[in-house]
Amino acid sequence: MTSVPDSSAHFPQLRLRRLRGHAVLRELVRETEVSVRDLILPLFIRHGSNTRQPIGSMPGHDQITVDLLADEIRSITDLGIPGVILFGIPATKDAAGSAALRDEGIVQQAVRKIKETTADLLVITDLCFCEYTDHGHCGVLRERHGRTDVDNDPTLDLLARQAVSHAQAGADVIAPSGMMDGMVSAIRRGLDAAGHESIPILSYAAKYASAFYGPFREAAESTPQFGDRRTYQMDPGNAQESLREVALDLAEGADMLMVKPALSYLDIICRVKQAHPDVPLCAYNVSGEYSMVKAAAAKGWLDEQRTTMEILTSIRRAGADMIITYSAKDVARWLGPGK
Q: Active-site residues: which are they? A: 207, 260
Calpha distance 144→146 (Å, rounded):
5
Q: Interior CA angle at 127 toward 195 and 264, to 5°? A: 135
Residue with smaller CB distance to ligand PBG, 110 or 128: 128
Q: 44: which DSSP letter?
A: E
Write the Ramachandran bin of 180: left for phi over 0, alpha for psi from -120 to 50, otherwise beta: beta
Decide: is 213 part of the binding site for ligand PBG (CB under 6 A): yes
Instruction: Give whole-number Cα distances, 13 to 16, 19, 20, 49, 299, in Å.
Output: 10, 14, 16, 68, 45
- Strands 147-150 and 141-144, bridge-based pairing: antiparallel
Near ligand PBG by CB under 6 A: residue from 128, 163, 199, 312: 128
Q: Which of residues 285-304 bind ligand PBG (CB under 6 A)?
A: 286-287
Decide: is 126 part of the binding site for ligand PBG (CB under 6 A): yes
Calpha distance 281→48 (Å, rounded):
35
Bridge partners of 148? 143
H/E run at residue 316: helix 304-318
Q: Which stretch binds ligand PBG (CB under 6 A): 101-109, 211-219, 272-280, 303-311?
A: 211-219
Decide: is 205 part of the binding site for ligand PBG (CB under 6 A): no
Instruction: Give whole-number Cα distances, 198 to 124, 189, 248, 335, in Å.
Output: 14, 12, 21, 34
Within a 10 A sphere around the Cβ of 217, how many other Cβ atoms? 16
Least Å from the CB of residue 126 to ligand PBG: 5
Decide: is 174 part of the binding site for ligand PBG (CB under 6 A): no
Decide: is 265 part of the binding site for ligand PBG (CB under 6 A): no
Residue with smaller CB distance to ligand PBG, 98 or 117: 98
**Nearest residue (beta carbon) to ligand PBG:** 216
Decide: is 216 part of the binding site for ligand PBG (CB under 6 A): yes
Q: Which stretch binds ligand PBG (CB under 6 A): 2-10, 21-29, 155-163, 213-221?
A: 213-221
* Contacting residues for 170 by C-beta, under 8 A, at least 6 apart: 111, 112, 114, 115, 123
Calpha distance 171→85 (Å, rounded):
10
Residue with smaller CB distance to ligand PBG, 82 or 215: 215
Decide: is 138 part of the binding site for ligand PBG (CB under 6 A): yes
Residue with smaller CB distance to ligand PBG, 208 or 316: 208
Near ligand PBG by CB under 6 A: residue from 108, 177, 242, 327: 177
Decide: is 44 part of the binding site for ligand PBG (CB under 6 A): no
Calpha distance 259→264 (Å, rounded):
11
Residue with smaller CB distance to ligand PBG, 122 or 275: 122
Residue with smaller CB distance to ligand PBG, 126 or 249: 126
Least Å from the CB of residue 215 to ligand PBG: 7
Binding residues vs ligand PBG (CB under 6 A): 126, 128, 130, 138, 177-178, 213, 216-217, 229, 286-287
